[in-house]
Structure formats: C-alpha cells, structure tokens
C-alpha cells in the first residue's frame, strides 16, 4: 500500500487563508479521521488531497511522487480514491451497472476481457455484501444502501488509499450501523481517511484523529488523547472556558 504525505500544505483564495501549513503522513493500514468545527477547512483539505483543488504551496506526496499538479482522474489511477458526501451514483442504472462503470473505468487501460470485468463487478458487490441489490435501480435504494454502493464503486477502482467524505451524512440512525460495519470491513491494510461529523462513528472506528481548527492542525493523536485534550474540548466540543 502507498503512503500519503502532506508537507506544509497551504490554500489561499485571494486574501482568505483556508488551509494553513498542514502536515501529516498516512501509511499502510491507518484508520485516520479528520474532524473539526464548521469552517475548520475539512472539506477544502480533502478536496486538495483528491485533486479537486490545487493547493497554493507545500507538497502532496503519494508513494514518493509529487501529485500536487495531477488531476482527480490521474490521482485515482494511482490509487488515491475518494467518495463524496453527496451521492454521485448514476441514477437510472442498476447497482450492478453502476459497479460495472467503475470496473470499466479502472481497467480500460489494460483492455480487459468481459470475464475480467464480470469478475471485478462480482467482487465489488460481494465485498460490501450488496449482491442481492444487483438488479435494483439505485434510485430505489435507501440512503444507507446507496452509501454501500458508493463504497463498492470505490473498492472496484482498486484503491491504495481511500478518502471517505462523510459516509454517514444524511443517513437515518437506523441505517448508520450498516455503514459503520461496511467501513469496519474494509481491507485491514488499506489506509483510510474519514471526514465525518458523527462523533459516535469517529470514536468507534478511528485509531487516529486529526483535529483541524482555522485551517490548521490543532491536534493529532489517538482517540483517547483527543477526547481528553482541554484545547480540543474548548475549540471543538464547546467545553471549558
């Protein structure tokens, strides 16, 4: 698996300094969550990592390669794959057809056979245990089921690192366990970065939490350290003075 390194990454929109000297490494098997209050710069940071935005200064290294100028598609081809807070499934298509599109996109450079694609589609659905939904149109699925399909699409692209942008967003509490179980079941050697507001999900899943405030890293450590930190409690959770 590949290693992601952010080195003094900054992002400015004119006079607005949104991301401030952000540095951290993510390596094989890490389960890291990025949290912070509204306006902390979480979405901007994940967009920078994925290639939706190009940072103003600093470096983003992926397996030692500077990927800072690469497009979203070029980063995905190298294994840096993300999901989105807002569903981007192909409406009007079935679950199987959605997964097939992802498999074709990933394998197109190798001119795969139909059997290769069929195998990838079957594996993509099996990993998330959604094979029973194969022939349902995605429009008819619950929000929780749609999240599982989105995760399946991401895994079908053979990620070396996975960025999950608020996978529990908008999902009713009754389905949140389904999403948490799916995230917990991701390959153990696959490094995952989670952006999430659901603190129950964050603290039950993450082994490392990076707290942003004002676009900068406020604290970086294990969940016990983060939960006990007075500065984090005051800035993020609104406790203390």
Instruction: Summarize the confidence of residues 26-52 as an average pLDDT.
Output: 93
Contact between 83 and 151 under an 8 Å Cβ cutoff? The reply is: yes
Beta-strand pair 161-165/192-195: parallel
Angle at 20 between CA 16 and CA 26, to 5 degrees: 140
Q: How much is the pLDDT for 238?
A: 61
Q: What are the structural domains of the chain?
A: 1-79+161-241 (3.40.50.300), 82-158 (no CATH)
Extended strands (E) in the chain: 4-13, 16-26, 31-35, 57-62, 65-66, 80-82, 161-165, 192-195, 208-213, 216-221
pLDDT in tens, 111-141: 778 898 999 999 999 988 999 999 999 999 9
pTM of the model: 0.88
51: left (phi over 0), alpha (psi -120 to 50) or beta: left
Instruction: Summarize the confidence of residues 48-54 as an average pLDDT.
Output: 96
Q: How much is the pLDDT for 169?
A: 82
pLDDT in tens, 62-73: 999 999 999 998
Q: How much is the pLDDT for 107?
A: 58
End-to-end CA distance of the chain: 43
* Sequence-separated (6 or more) residues with CB below 8 Å from residue 204: 180
- By three-state DSSP, how is residue 226 classified? helix
Is the per-residue pLDDT at 241 higher than 60? no
Name the CA radius of gyration of the chain, rounded. 18
């Amino acid at each position: 698996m590949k290693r992601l390194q952010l080195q003094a990454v900054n992002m400015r929109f004119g006079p607005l300094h949104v991301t401030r000297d952000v540095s951290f490494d993510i390596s094989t098997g890490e389960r890291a969550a990025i949290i912070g209050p509204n306006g902390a710069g979480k979405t901007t940071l994940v967009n920078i990592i994925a290639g939706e935005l190009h940072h103003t200064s600093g470096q983003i290294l992926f397996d030692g390669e500077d990927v800072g100028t690469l497009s979203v598609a070029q980063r995905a081809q190298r294994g840096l794959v993300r999901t989105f807070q807002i569903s981007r499934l192909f409406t009007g298509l079935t679950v199987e057809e959605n997964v097939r599109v992802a498999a074709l996109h990933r394998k197109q450079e190798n001119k795969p056979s139909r059997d290769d694609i069929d195998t990838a589609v079957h594996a993509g659905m099996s990993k998330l245990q959604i094979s029973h939904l194969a022939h349902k149109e995605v429009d008819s699925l619950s929000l929780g089921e749609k999240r599982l399909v989105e995760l399946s699409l991401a895994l079908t692209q053979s990620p070396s690192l996975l960025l999950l942008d608020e996978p529990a967003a908008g999902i009713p509490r009754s389905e949140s366990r389904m999403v948490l179980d799916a995230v917990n079941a991701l390959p153990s050697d696959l490094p995952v970065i989670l952006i999430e507001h659901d603190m129950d999900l964050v603290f039950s899943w993450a082994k490392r939490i990076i707290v942003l405030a004002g676009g900068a890293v406020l604290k970086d450590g294990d969940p016990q350290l983060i939960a006990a930190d007075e500065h984090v409690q005051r800035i993020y959770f609104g406790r203390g003075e």
